[in-house]
Structure 1
Amino acid sequence: MLDESNNWGRWGAEDERGALNLLAPEVVLAAAGCVREGRALSLSLPIRGATSSPAPTTVPHLRGRPLPQHFMSVDGGDYAAGTRAIGAGLKMADDAIVVTPHGTTTHMDALCHMWSGDELYNGHPADRVRSYGAGRCGIDKAGPVVARGVLFDVPRVRGVERLDATDRIGPEDLEACGVEVRAGDVAVVRTGWPLAWQEGPEAYWAGQPGLSADGGRWLAERDVCMVAGDNAAIGGLNERQLADEGLADDLHMIFLWRHGIYLAEMLWLEELAQVAAEAGRTDFLFMAAPLRIEGGTASPINPIAVL
């Protein structure tokens, strides 16, 4: 499995941060130079309501996954910790949020999310991944991501609103976007697939477009630190919401396991795509910070693009 290129040992035998090691101070300073207009955009899907209402079902998600839950009350009626008196005539509402990130909301995968055999990225033992968390390569090892982001707006290049469920993005599509890729960049790949939700859940669940294995290798060869996409798995999915690639060509294995390249999934890229097209730009400052969930396989994030 490791016969092809990989980053194991590149930053030392104990490394658990992978390609985020590329974000040296000078790389971050150079990324800050992408801010020329001072316009900040959120790239996340909303977390909307609890299952006591239909609100969560109105946000794109994979079928059968536990939806994010947000409980809040101003009268204590919805959640036991909802309201506390803090003084004469004053009340304060509290929140409770329950999230299983994978497939349900905008999130960042940790390097311990997937592996092969008995080894995580960089040869760390997989037997340290347990119900109480991963002893190696958890999301808490990542830290904040501040990098140059580059947008691959594939639907715009193809002249369509969004890609079809069976479309796969290869090296030729990425090259056609005309993006200059530098070491340490965050490659942001737009498929337009969240727009399928407007046609109904069944349309969204009919499969998903995404990177092909060769498209993934093309990005890995260019030393990106993260690949972010608006689909649910970076690679494509079939109608059963599974990847068709074998283990050698699985995008999570190529990025997370072999190269230590992080993945951010289920972004909302429509506003960024419009603004970037109007400005004639493909680069911007990308910022995202996972929660410090010790041993976590992922974390919800709110990625920010600053142009």
Structure 2
Amino acid sequence: MPLPPEFHDIAKRVNNWGRWGDADEAGTLNLITDDVVRAAAATIQSGRRVPLALPLKQDGVQTGTIPGRVNPLHTMTFINLEMFGPDTVATSDDAVTLGLQAGTHWDALAHVSHSGTLYNGRPAASITPHTRAAHGGIDRVGPLVSRGVLLDIARAHGTERLSDGHAITPDDLERAEEQQGVRVQAGDIVLVRTGWIQHYLAGDRGSYGNMPAPGLSLHTPEFFHARDAAAVATDTLGLEVLPPEIDSLWLPVHALHLVEMGLLQGQNWNLEGLSEACAAEGRYAFFLTATPEPFTGGTGAPVAPVAVL
């Protein structure tokens, strides 16, 4: 089914192709300037550090719904091996096989294409088994630190967890800003909390991994574009509302973010501790470090983000 006119209308309004030059592969990360980073560092007051990653383990967040996106298979390659002879120093090593989007992760700009194109008009055919993502791979992200902003949608709605299939609108995002006394500005990394990851943390992987699920609506990319956000991440498996708002239009927010805007996006972020910390300190902006593992040509990568309040 061709992408509908509504999608193309939004795509035209949020498109960033050529904004930072025809060769650009960083997209909205260009908005994180030295001045933005200095201002982000100035938000640190208490020094409280809040980890935002899920543990990487074999019984992880993936449910098998997406082919190849396997939880980590962790094995020991040797244990207490005295490589240099008896009674010498012994070492232990291990190895892991995992989907790069297995746990808390960033999606690279090359993760999604539509109509045969990637961000900035690059051909989707440039992704091959040998070159992997020749353009817009996760290795192009580089050091990623900026001001983080938590938009706690669940708390703004007076609940711990949004209901099944709740489509988060720009009005929801603005409502959270108003209640939390914060405003998204250029270069920010926006974290959107639904509370949905509580299913997984409670051991209910089925509810966390299945539809319906809350998430960003088709119109939220216009909010992020207007505010010049650098990246957005959520505490859900799919980032956007599922099932989709328009029948048979799957992953339109992915396509608008990654292809049209060049906006880095993340999933499976654990925002529960951050929600409590921000509420306790009465502020929702903080210093955020979130550099992905630089897999060359990867279409995504694990990340262990830390918010510093």
Same fold (TM over 0.5): yes
Is 2:147 aligned against 1:148?
Answer: yes
Q: Supply the distance in 2 between the matched residues of 1:39 and 1:4 (Cα, whole angstroms).
A: 39
Q: Which amino acid aligns with 2:161?
A: R
Give the match for residue 127 of structure 1.
125
1:184 aligns with 2:181: no
- Identity %, equivalent residues: 37
**What's the secondary structure of 2:12's corresponding residue?**
coil
In 1: Cα distance, 2:63 partner to 2:185 partner: 32
Following TM superposition, where does structure 1 have runs of at least 4 consecutive aligned residues deviating by more than 4 angstroms?
Answer: 243-249
Q: Map 1:267-286; keep pairs closer than 5 Å.
A: 267-286=269-288
User: Any conservation in 1 of the 2:62–2:70 contact (CA below 8 Å)?
Assistant: no
After TM superposition, list the pairs within 5 Å mapping 1:1-307 onto structure 2: 1=8, 2-48=11-57, 56-57=58-59, 59-64=60-65, 65-72=69-76, 79=77, 81-87=78-84, 88-102=87-101, 104-132=102-130, 133-177=132-176, 178=178, 179-197=182-200, 198=202, 200-207=204-211, 208-238=213-243, 243=244, 245=246, 247=249, 250-307=252-309
Can you give the 5+ residue segments of structure 2 that lack an aligned partner in the other structure?
1-7
Quote how far apart the aligned CAs of 1:244 are: 5.1
Given the two structures, how large is their TM-score scaled by the length of structure 2?
A: 0.87
Q: Residues 286 and 306 of structure 1 are in contact (CA less than 8 Å); yes or no, is this contact kept in structure 2?
A: yes
2-structure distance, mates of 1:305, 1:236: 25
SS at match of 2:113: coil
Q: Deviations over 1:164-203 (max 9, x none)?
A: 2211111111111123111010010001111123262332
- Structure 1: which 5+ residue stretches go unaligned? 49-55, 73-78
- Please tell me the root mean square deviation across aligned C-alpha atoms, in Å: 1.8
**Does the CA-based 8 Å contact 1:62-1:232 persist in structure 2?**
no
Distance verdict in 2 for CA 1:69–1:248, change over 3 Å: closer
**In the TM superposition, what is the alpha-carbon distance from 1:274 to its structure 2 partner?**
0.1
Contact 2:31–2:186 (Cα < 8 Å) also in 1: yes
- Find the aligned partners of 2:54 and 2:184 in 1 and give their Cα distance: 26
CA distance in 1, matches of 2:207, 2:137: 34
Deviation at 1:12, TM superposition (A): 0.2
TM-fit CA distance, 1:269? 0.6
Moved more, 27-36 or 62-71: 62-71
Q: What TM-score, normalized by structure 1, do the two folds share?
A: 0.88
Distance in 1 between residues matched to 2:166 and 2:270, nearest whole Å: 19
